[in-house]
Amino acid sequence: MEVWRADIIHPLDELTIEYVAGGCLVIDKGKIVALEKSIPPGASVIYDYQGKLLLPGFIDTHTHLPQYAFVGLGAPGLLQWLHNYTFPEEMKFADVVYARKVARAFFQALLQNGTTTVCSFLTTHKQAADIAFEEAERCGIRAFLGLTLMDRGNNYALQVPKKFALQHCLALIQKWHRRGNLQFVISPRFALSCTSSLMTEAGRMAADLDLLIQTHLSENHDEIRATLEAHPEAKNYADVYYKNDLLNERSLLGHCIHLGSEEIQMMVDAKAVAVHCPTSNQFLMSGIMPLRRLREAGVRVSLGSDVAGGYELSMLHEMRLCLESSKTLTHLDRLQGNTEKEPVSIEQAFYYATLGGAAALRLADVTGNFLPGKEADFVIIDDSPAIPMADAAYMSLPERLSRLVYRLNNRGVLKTVIAGQTVYEDSFASP
């Protein structure tokens, strides 16, 4: 048995966080045995991080590996940004040397930020996808990765005809799906870049092989208008996916900012996940996802960094923007006389970035908190850089969690551990 001692914080559900000051996480063969308040008898290895924080590994449920090289570069809107940066950058992944360089840097940055599980789009290049899986396996991260599907639009260099795209998906599935910590995800870029035929067959493949699906929904007004023009048979954006077998309990839909009431109900009925990407939504001026409204309706929610629409891979940063976005909408509600609504709480934001993300990826019985039997995925954080003065004031664990979310980002990550194995360690991290 191993024992990791620190100040432990983990979610029990969407509204409940357990705080254990000076707690001991007991691990055996990479799995959690218990969360104790003191060192249990018989413990053979003790990692003592007293005064530091021990949290579940963060879970990023929507991001883009190929966009990592241009984080922080924006444009007036989504579609122009795609043409200015995303499509030219993704074309570079025909070069396998470049593809490996970016993949290795991307996964390393995730681990440095305390992210233990990621769901990411790749490019349309099969060789680059193979390389991404290789690099994910090499570094040990839990990775849900998908070959991006697109067979329409004016980006001809990135298009792959349906027949070949689906053949490439099958080959990648056979080689990588459920190999260690890896899974393949069916990944239409968005309805605007896919024919109905491609989406329908990809949806059927996902159903037949029980695969998760990731795509984008209602991020930007121009995107919505163009999508409905491209798919006139649909009554709304969500209906495009519904008609093509892509809206169900395995669907992770990024953004979901401008949904109508009927679309929200469609998501509830389908049990689909709305992946909130608050940083990206602000950075590209797309809008603010009505998180509270979606949750009150019964939509499942998780968080994503959406690099490079988002400019950080830090899920602490996404938690912060999640809270601030919700406060903005609450303020607008109150200006209109609706004083009963409250913003999303820090407990909820923390849940979406940990256990909620695990639930979205169907890993809630594997990771996301520290219940016995789960895999030991966690991050050790020195939160002292978030403390403004060297005294003991305002040092309860709830107060430290608030400061962690609002002031730290990734500066204090000392260790990232997946299934009991250290996959990232700061050079000054020894206990």
Say yes or no: 71 and 161 in one domain.
yes
Tell me the CATH number at 278. 3.20.20.140
pLDDT reported for residue 153:
86
Say yes or no: 245 and 378 in one domain.
no
Number of domains in the chain: 2
**Adjacent-strand bridge partners of 145:** 120, 184
3-state secondary structure at position 327 = helix
Of 330, 360, 390, the residue that ends a domain is 360
* 274 lies in some domain: yes
Determine the Cα–Cα distance for residues 27 and 168; give it in Å rounded to an integer.
Answer: 39
Interval 6-62: pLDDT, tens: 999 999 999 999 999 999 999 999 999 999 998 888 777 899 999 999 999 999 999
Mean residue pLDDT of the chain comes to 95
C-alpha torsion angle, residues 121, 124, 126, 127 (rounded to 10): -90
Say yes or no: 340 and 220 in one domain.
yes
Q: Is there a contact between 130 and 172 (Cβ–Cβ < 8 Å)?
A: yes
Interval 48-101: pLDDT, tens: 999 999 999 999 999 999 999 999 998 788 989 999 999 999 999 999 999 999
Confidence tier at 406 by pLDDT (50, 70, 90): very high
Confidence tier at 167 by pLDDT (50, 70, 90): very high
> Which of 101, 215, 88, 244 has the alpha carbon at shortest distance from 156?
88
pLDDT reported for residue 428:
63
Any idea how long the chain is? 431
Residue with tokens 């609504």: 341
Which residues, 6 or more positions from 319, have their beta carbon under 8 angstroms from its beta carbon?
A: 303, 346, 349, 350, 352, 353, 405
pLDDT reported for residue 184:
98
* 332 lies in some domain: yes
Q: Hey, how many other C-beta atoms are within 10 angstroms of the C-beta on 427? A: 6
pLDDT reported for residue 338:
76
* 27 lies in some domain: yes
Determine the Cα–Cα distance for residues 74 and 267; give it in Å rounded to an integer.
Answer: 30
pLDDT reported for residue 336:
83
Determine the Cα–Cα distance for residues 202 and 194; give it in Å rounded to an integer.
Answer: 10
Say yes or no: 84 and 204 in one domain.
yes
Interval 105-126: pLDDT, tens: 999 999 999 999 999 999 999 9
Determine the Cα–Cα distance for residues 375 and 213; give it in Å rounded to an integer.
Answer: 24
* 430 lies in some domain: no
Structural tokens at position 366: 């594997």
pLDDT reported for residue 76:
80
Mean pLDDT of 289-318: 96
Confidence tier at 306 by pLDDT (50, 70, 90): very high
Determine the Cα–Cα distance for residues 417 and 120; give it in Å rounded to an integer.
Answer: 20
Interval 204-220: pLDDT, tens: 999 999 999 999 999 99
Q: Hey, how many other C-beta atoms are within 10 angstroms of the C-beta on 331? A: 10
Interval 126-141: pLDDT, tens: 999 999 999 999 999 9
The pTM for the full model equals 0.96
Of 336, 360, 384, the residue that ends a domain is 360
* 166 lies in some domain: yes
- Measured CA to CA in angstroms, residue 62 lies from 194, 210, 305 at distances of 19, 19, 6
Say yes or no: 330 and 212 in one domain.
yes
- Measured CA to CA in angstroms, residue 123 lies from 107, 145, 218 at distances of 16, 10, 21
Structural tokens at position 135: 């690099």
Q: Which domain holds residue 34?
A: 2-56+368-425
Determine the Cα–Cα distance for residues 303 and 358; give it in Å rounded to an integer.
Answer: 10
- What burial class does residue 172 get, using C-beta atoms within 10 Å of its C-beta: 0-12 exposed, 13-18 middle, 19+ buried? buried
**Adjacent-strand bridge partners of 217:** 255
* 209 lies in some domain: yes
Say yes or no: 172 and 288 in one domain.
yes
Determine the Cα–Cα distance for residues 366 and 376; give it in Å rounded to an integer.
Answer: 9
- What burial class does residue 34 get, using C-beta atoms within 10 Å of its C-beta: 0-12 exposed, 13-18 middle, 19+ buried? middle
Determine the Cα–Cα distance for residues 168 and 173; give it in Å rounded to an integer.
Answer: 9
Say yes or no: 214 and 111 in one domain.
yes
> Which of 295, 271, 290 has the alpha carbon at shortest distance from 348?
295
Q: Is there a contact between 199 and 241 (Cβ–Cβ < 8 Å)?
A: yes
* 88 lies in some domain: yes
Q: ∠139-350-261 over CA atoms, to 5°?
A: 110
Confidence tier at 304 by pLDDT (50, 70, 90): very high
> Which of 115, 45, 39 has the alpha carbon at shortest distance from 381?
115
Say yes or no: 229 and 340 in one domain.
yes
* 45 lies in some domain: yes
pLDDT reported for residue 133:
98
Structural tokens at position 64: 């883009």
- What burial class does residue 57 get, using C-beta atoms within 10 Å of its C-beta: 0-12 exposed, 13-18 middle, 19+ buried? buried
pLDDT reported for residue 31:
98
Of 312, 333, 360, the residue that ends a domain is 360
Of residues 417 and 39, more confidence is placed in: 417
In this predicted structure, which of 198-212, 252-266, 390-404 has the lowest mean pLDDT?
A: 390-404
Say yes or no: 378 and 413 in one domain.
yes
Q: ∠46-9-304 over CA atoms, to 5°?
A: 115
Tell me the CATH number at 416. 2.30.40.10
Confidence tier at 196 by pLDDT (50, 70, 90): very high
Q: Is there a contact between 405 and 316 (Cβ–Cβ < 8 Å)?
A: yes
Say yes or no: 147 and 216 in one domain.
yes
Structural tokens at position 55: 């949290």
pLDDT reported for residue 345:
95
Of residues 227 and 40, more confidence is placed in: 227
> Which of 323, 284, 276 has the alpha carbon at shortest distance from 304?
276
* Amino acid in position 194: C
Residue with tokens 């895999």: 375
Say yes or no: 136 and 213 in one domain.
yes
Say yes or no: 51 and 82 in one domain.
no
Structural tokens at position 249: 């309990």
Q: Is there a contact between 171 and 126 (Cβ–Cβ < 8 Å)?
A: yes
